[in-house]
Amino acid sequence: MVAAIDPDDLPAVREDHDTLLVDVRASADFERGHIPDSENVPLGTIPEHSDAIADRDPDRIVTVCAHGIASQQGARLLAAHGGIDGDHVYNLTGGIDAWDGPVTGTAVDAE
């Protein structure tokens, strides 16, 4: 089981730790709106990007999707990777829909 992180706690985690946000949604969804500084690694491509993520050696990895379901699967895939400490992989509870902080992307920029 991968640990969850509440969206309200994410800013403090990012401030206190070298945190990599991995948005597992499709590229088009990511472009429409995402948490600033997050990186898009669509769920189906996580296995091929796991080595590169492990090489970056962040203190924390937080996976994000729309509602927190697909990102749970992404977090499990990353935690299972031999070069990534599974204790440092988290899933953002409720996904970007539960995130109250800033969002950037084409849909947001058009408002």
Is the pLDDT assigned to residue 68 strictly greater than 90?
yes
Alpha helices, H only, 1-111: 10-16, 27-32, 46-56, 70-80, 95-98, 106-109
Q: 111 is written with which tokens?
A: 């408002």
Is the pLDDT assigned to residue 111 strictly greater than 60?
no
**Domains of the chain (ranges, CATH numbers):** 3-103 (3.40.250.10)
Average per-residue pLDDT for the chain: 93
40 bridge partner residues:
23
* Residue percentage of the chain with pLDDT more than 70: 96
Report pLDDT digits (tens) over 34-46: 999 999 999 999 9
Report pLDDT digits (tens) over 80-101: 987 899 999 999 999 999 999 9
Q: What is the pLDDT of residue 78?
A: 95
Cα-based distances in Å from 111 to 22, 33, 57, 105, 108? 25, 12, 36, 10, 6
The closest alpha carbon to 54, from 23, 24, 91, 80, belongs to: 80
Q: What is the pLDDT of residue 1?
A: 77
76 bridge partner residues:
none
State phi, psi for 67 to the nearest 5 degrees.
-125, 0
